[in-house]
Homo-oligomer: A and B are copies of this chain.
Amino acid sequence: MRLSTTSYLVLGMVALRGPSTPYELKRATSRSVGYFWNFPHTQLYSEPERLAASGLLAVDLEDSGRRRKTYSLTPDGRAALREWLAAPTPEHFEMRDVAELKLFFNEAGSPDDDVPKLAQEQIRQHEERIAVYEEMVSRYGSEDWARPRMITLELGLEMEHAALRFWTALAAGTIDDLRREREERDVR
């Protein structure tokens, strides 16, 4: 069976807390590790079931009252967790930011200038951020950050300035690139 990151999150959480019910896992993750790996709470009901089916968790059913399942780690589960922890980690992380998206399209404008500008306030905030980024870049030095597809901000100490350079460069450059590309096409 194929294990996703969410699977390991469950495994890790059960290892951490000992035998747990889905609801307990939900409470324990929501304000901690959930920040690094977000998912709907329904996964905490379905995922342990999958893991139990593969023998990585053991189930214990409540005999009375509320239907409730308590999951605990099996030796196999512990081994899987251990293996995952030991395995090399991808050097990128993913992010999805609606606000930055909007700013992107706003800055870019549309061919006939018909896309509405965002509120002044939002733009001001954006500019402040850019300024902060630039200051940070100058503090941490600069480097090439380009990466193929998929998320891809550098991790570790590199993270800060890679991310910041990225944002800065994006706001400063890429939009011009797109404009240029468009004008070239329009000439033909």
Contact surface of A with B, Cβ cutoff 8 Å? 5, 8-9, 12, 15-18, 28, 30-38, 78, 81-82, 84-86, 89-91, 93-102, 104-106, 108, 110-111, 114-116, 118, 122, 125, 128-129, 132, 146, 148-153, 155-157, 159-160, 166, 170, 174, 177-178, 181-182, 185-186
Number of copies: 2
Interface centre among A82, A99, A170 (most CB of B within 10 A): A99
Given contacts A15-B105, A99-B155, 4 further A-B contacts (CB under 8 A): A17-B181, A30-B149, A94-B97, A95-B96
Residue from B32, B85, B108 within 8 A of A102 (CB atoms): B85
Main secondary structure of the interface of A (DSSP, over half): helix
Q: How far is the CB of A158 from chain B (nearest CB, A)?
A: 10
Q: A34 near B115 (CB under 8 angstroms)?
A: no
In the complex, what residue of chain B is closest to A94 when comparing beta carbons?
Answer: B96
Q: B94 near A34 (CB under 8 angstroms)?
A: no
A-B contact pairs, 11 of them (CB 8 A): A5-B96, A16-B110, A33-B174, A35-B152, A36-B104, A93-B95, A93-B96, A93-B98, A93-B99, A99-B155, A125-B157
